[in-house]
């Protein structure tokens, strides 16, 4: 794997019983980029994220993350990879019985090595980063949907991951919170050089944040290109998908 690759799928095949999900899938995610993966429901987008986390293995081929072939790692090795990879789940996945501070600090406490003052300072920093200063004592049931997403993002970046995986990060949010989350994805790329892989049906946000976009169809990546070129792709599955989603402009797309 070249030095510029954060994640690589090499000839990956995967099936669940008689249902083939991938057949010879290849993908290369460059370090420091925002790559959005599009595809119809049931095409295997969420399975791909789980494979990047090592939660599901390939039937054949290889998945490499941060230079490691996940299939060769034991439990200790996988934990080390997980420290480099953060995940923003579609439903935020906050612990309902914990306040914001405990949710955000959970992974840091599990890892250990933080004194109380340093722990509180790190939580304060990441909550400020996502625009939620002073919310440490709030409970999840006191948060709006957009606030929950941002708390979950704060938790994901608390350990300063090299890679962040986003599963439908803007689903169910109002336009202002869509904009906030989208701008946070770019801020993490620009300030912390985080590599981001985004799964979404929100094309307006995808066009705004993505350096490149990929199409998952027919059990493989059929198109991958810089965002402007992807929009103009002549591949029928890309144009059919974009047309079906009835793209609405996300204001002015980000300048190159």
Q: What is the mean pLDDT of residues 21-43?
A: 94
DSSP assignment of 40-58 equals -TTSSHHHHHHHHTTSS--
Share of the chain above pLDDT 70, in %: 95
- pLDDT at residue 207 above 80? yes
- Which domains are present in the chain? 32-46+73-244 (3.40.50.300)
Distance (Å, whole) CA 21 – CA 25: 10
3-state secondary structure of 6: strand
pTM: 0.89
- pLDDT at residue 226 above 70? yes
Task: Specify the pairing of strand 60-65 against strand 68-69.
Answer: antiparallel
Torsion angle in degrees (nearest 10) through CA of 147, 153, 158, 160: -150
Q: How many CA atoms lie within 13 A of 90 on its CB side?
A: 11
Mean pLDDT of the chain: 90
State the pLDDT at residue 254.
46
3-state secondary structure of 81: helix
193 Rama sector, left if φ>0, alpha if ψ -120 to 50, beta otherwise: left
69 Rama sector, left if φ>0, alpha if ψ -120 to 50, beta otherwise: beta
State the pLDDT at residue 107.
85
The pair of structure tokens assigned to 21 is 């999900």
State the pLDDT at residue 250.
43
- pLDDT at residue 1 above 70? no
Share of the chain above pLDDT 90, in %: 71
CB-based contact 184:153 (threshold 8 Å): yes
State the pLDDT at residue 247.
46
State the pLDDT at residue 212.
98
pLDDT band at 159 (very low <50, low <70, confident <90, very high): confident
Higher-pLDDT residue of 253 and 103 is 103
Q: What is the mean pLDDT of residues 197-206?
A: 92
State the pLDDT at residue 246.
56
């Amino acid at each position: 794997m070249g030095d510029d690759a954060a994640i690589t799928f090499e000839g990956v095949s995967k099936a669940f019983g008689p249902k083939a999900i991938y057949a010879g899938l290849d993908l290369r995610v460059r370090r420091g980029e925002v790559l959005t993966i599009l595809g119809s429901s049931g095409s295997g987008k969420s399975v791909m994220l789980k494979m990047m986390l090592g939660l599901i293995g390939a039937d054949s081929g290889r998945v490499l993350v941060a230079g490691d072939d996940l299939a060769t790692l034991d439990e200790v090795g996988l934990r080390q990879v997980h420290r480099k990879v953060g995940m923003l789940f579609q439903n935020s996945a906050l612990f309902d019985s914990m306040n914001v501070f405990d949710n955000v600090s959970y992974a840091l406490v599990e890892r250990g090595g933080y004194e109380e003052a340093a722990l509180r300072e790190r939580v304060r920093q990441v909550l400020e980063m996502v625009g939620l200063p002073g919310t440490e004592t709030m409970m999840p049931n006191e948060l709006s949907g957009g606030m929950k997403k941002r708390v979950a993002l704060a938790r994901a970046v608390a350990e300063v991951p090299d890679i962040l995986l986003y599963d439908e990060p803007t689903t169910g949010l109002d336009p202002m919170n869509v904009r906030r989350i989208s701008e946070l994805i770019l801020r993490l790329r620009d300030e912390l050089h985080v590599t981001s892989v985004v799964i979404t049906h929100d094309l307006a946000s995808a066009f705004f944040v993505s350096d490149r976009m990929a199409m998952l169809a027919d059990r493989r990546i059929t198109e991958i290109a810089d965002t402007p070129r992807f929009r103009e792709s002549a591949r029928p599955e890309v144009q059919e998908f974009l047309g079906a989603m009835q793209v609405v402009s996300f204001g002015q797309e980000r300048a190159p």
